Structures are given as C-alpha cells and as structure tokens.
C-alpha cells in the first residue's frame, strides 16, 4: 500500500549549516508523517507504522553512505577510463596524456582507504545499489565540465582546498543536479525528499572537515547510540500521540472556541497533540523547545495560518498545565 505523506520540496543546493545527519526535529517530522498516515488509514495496525517509522529513521545513515559512495565511485572511474584509453590500439594525444589527478585527491583517497567507511558500506551493502553504467554516465557529465578541466590544469598537486572544492562540485553541481540521480535516489530511499537537506549537509561536513583523516559522523559522539536514542524517541512519541488521542482531545477541545474540530486541518491537530505528548510525557524536553519545534514544522508543512493558530493553542494549554501543576518537567526540561 502506498502512503502519501505531507511534504515540501527541498532545494538541491542546501545552505551549509553543519550538524549531525539526523536530529530530533527530523524525527518529529517523520513521526508526524506516520501519525498522519496511520490516522488516515482505517485498517492497518499501529505496529506496522511503528516499523515504517523505525526504518525511515535508520535509512538516513544509508542515504549518507550512498552519497559518499557515489562520490567515490564516480571519481574512481578515472582509473577505468585510463585503462580503456591505454588499451586502445590507435591512441590519440588525449589518450596518451590522460590525466588521472583525481585519483590522488585527498578526499577520494580517504574514501578509498578509511577502514571505518569501508566496513560501514560493506555492512550496509551500499555498493549493491550502484551499477557501472550509471556511474559511467555521471562520470562523463563530470569530466566534461569546465570546473573539472580547470582542476586538472590548476598546476597544483595535493592541494586540499582544491581537492575539497572539486569533490563538492561533483556532489552539488553534477550528482544533485542530475535528473537521473534524483530519480534513482528517490526510488531507493522513499524519504529522500524530507531527509535530503540534512544528509547533504552531513556529507558537506565530511568533505570540509577531513584533513588528516576521514571525519565520518559514524565516529561522532557514538552515532549508533544516537540513532538508538532518536529511534526510541520517535517510537515513544508516535505511541503516546496515538494512544492518548482521546485524553488529549479533552484538553485541546476547550481551546478551539468557535472552531469545529472536524473543520480543522488534520495536520494542525496532530502537531498540537504531539506537542501535548511532549508536555506531559517527555520530562527532559523544555516547553519552549517543544513549542518552537512544532511551530517551525507547521510553518514548513501546514497552512500559512497554522503557525499562529498552533502557537495560540499551545500557549493556552501550557499555562493551564502550569497552573494545575500537571506540566511534567524535570532537570533540563525545567529550563
């Protein structure tokens, strides 16, 4: 069964604001989508959507590895091309003087030799998602660009800034701008449209910060533990939101005043319920953080008026919970 989630179109030229490849906000967005999908479907069990949510969260890492591998394989195709030209019976001058400078690119060298990266792509079986014909097509587009030709002719070897710049160009201007690439990655990863911005940001960070070694997020603050924590956060938020729907509606309904509940945007109500779940069942998350997060999500995913509407409802609910001493916050959540 195909589930259609609320979404928005991402720019394929993301602003670089480096961070880990997945955050609580992205998990909130995914949870919102699966609550929406579950409540729009009459027959499916909630456990099925929990599985979809878990898979969606964990797939972010696979997308990250896929992008890095595409960069590596397109660059490594220089070696294949060099062998083809060397094997020609009749060689042109361009064949004899073929430039393999890209193979010594420091970022590509790291991607070819870093043990942690090699282990991750092997375990995730990322290489099985690529085929040589597609890599060849992207390679041909890449080497025909003025930027690539300028890189070959810039007169410097082992220049880390130039190496970073051409790898970024390969990612941003060749791969992400190629219609075939976007078709393939959307087919491989159904959540690409929502995950693209922070996955691409994470790959940019690898390119920018790799100096003496490959700086993978896989080693950053125990990423496996981070994914485990974020996965559990998403599942808990999903369960609490759907299981406490009736209780939450009792709290929300008086705040709607003249609004008929069946005329409200379904997505707005879900966002309010999710925020209420965080107010009551996630003691370590500050109230202001919760409100700001859901207002930002509403701004991107719902109607133009949703942000102000949700802000008013949540502010009123928060004041009531505080006055009734039922706002469940401890530790950092009190900030």
Q: Judge contact between 35 and 238, C-beta under 8 A.
A: yes
* Distances from the Cα of 243 to the Cα of 7, 55, 78, 247, angstroms: 24, 21, 55, 9
Q: Identify the residue with better confidence: 96 or 323.
A: 323
Indicate if the pLDDT at residue 219 is higher than 90: no
Both tokens assigned to 3: 């589930």
Report whether pLDDT(286) > 50. Answer: yes
pLDDT at 281 over 70: yes
In whole angstroms, give the CA distance from residue 74 to residue 133.
Answer: 11
228 vs 31, 124, 234, CA distance in Å?
Answer: 15, 17, 10
What is the mean pLDDT of the segment spanning 87-110? 78
| Residue-wise pLDDT tens digits, 108-125 | 999 999 998 998 899 889
Do 32 and 214 contact (CB within 8 A), yes or no? Answer: no
Mean pLDDT of 251-274: 83
Lowest mean pLDDT segment, chosen from 2-11, 84-93, 254-263: 2-11
DSSP conformation class of 11: P
Ranges of each domain in the chain:
24-225, 245-334
Top-ranked range on mean pLDDT: pick from 217-226, 291-300, 322-331? 291-300
In CATH terms, is domain 245-334 a member of 1.10.3720.10? no
The DSSP-derived string for 20-60 is -S--HHHHHHHHHHHHHHHHT-SSS-HHHHHHHHHHHHHHH
Q: For residue 263, name the pLDDT band (cuts at 50, 70, 90).
A: low
Residue of 262 and 203 predicted with greater confidence:
203
DSSP structural state of residue 175: I
Band of residue 258 on the pLDDT scale cut at 50, 70, 90? low
Strand, coil or helix: 75: helix
- Indicate the average pLDDT of the chain: 87
**pLDDT tens by residue, 3-34:** 444 443 333 333 333 345 678 999 999 999 99
The C-alpha atoms of residue 44 and residue 3 are separated, in whole angstroms, by 11
pLDDT at 207 exceeding the cut of 90: yes
Residues across the chain: 335
Ranges of H-type helices in 87-114: 93-96, 106-113
The answer to whether residues 75 and 168 touch, using CB atoms and an 8 Å cutoff, is no
Residue whose C-alpha is closest to residue 267's, from 52, 34, 61, 100: 34
pLDDT digits (tens, 9 = 90+) for 130-187: 999 999 999 999 999 999 999 999 877 778 999 999 999 999 999 999 999 999 999 9
């Amino acid at each position: 069964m195909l589930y259609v989630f609320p979404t928005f179109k991402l720019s394929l030229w993301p602003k670089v604001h480096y961070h880990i490849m997945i955050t609580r906000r992205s998990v909130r967005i995914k949870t919102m989508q699966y609550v929406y999908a579950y409540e729009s479907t009459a027959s499916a069990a909630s456990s099925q959507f929990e599985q979809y949510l878990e898979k969606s969260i964990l797939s972010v890492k696979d997308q990250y590895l896929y992008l890095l591998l595409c960069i590596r394989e397109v660059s490594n195709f220089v070696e294949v091309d060099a062998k083809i030209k060397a094997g020609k019976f009749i060689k042109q001058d361009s064949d004899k003087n073929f430039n393999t400078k890209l193979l010594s690119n420091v970022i590509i060298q790291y991607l070819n030799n870093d043990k942690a990266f090699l282990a991750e792509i092997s375990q995730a079986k990322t290489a099985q998602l690529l085929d040589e014909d597609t890599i060849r097509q992207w390679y041909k587009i890449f080497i025909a660009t003025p930027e690539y030709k300028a890189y070959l002719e810039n007169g410097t070897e082992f220049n880390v800034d130039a190496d970073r710049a051409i790898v970024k160009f390969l990612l941003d201007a060749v791969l992400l701008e190629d219609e075939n690439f976007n078709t393939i990655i959307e087919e491989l990863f159904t959540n690409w449209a929502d995950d693209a911005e922070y996955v691409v940001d994470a790959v940019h960070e690898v390119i920018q910060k790799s100096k003496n070694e490959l700086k993978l997020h896989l080693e950053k603050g125990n990423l496996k533990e981070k994914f485990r924590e974020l996965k559990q956060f998403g599942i808990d938020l999903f369960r609490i939101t759907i299981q406490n729907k009736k209780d939450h509606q009792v709290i929300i309904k008086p705040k709607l005043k003249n609004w008929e509940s069946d005329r409200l945007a379904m997505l707005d109500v879900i966002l309010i319920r999710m925020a209420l779940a965080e107010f009551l069942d996630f003691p370590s998350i500050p109230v202001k953080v919760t409100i700001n997060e859901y207002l930002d999500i509403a701004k991107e995913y719902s109607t133009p008026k949703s942000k102000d509407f949700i802000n008013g409802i949540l502010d009123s609910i928060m004041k009531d919970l505080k006055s009734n001493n039922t706002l469940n916050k401890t530790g950092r959540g009190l900030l």
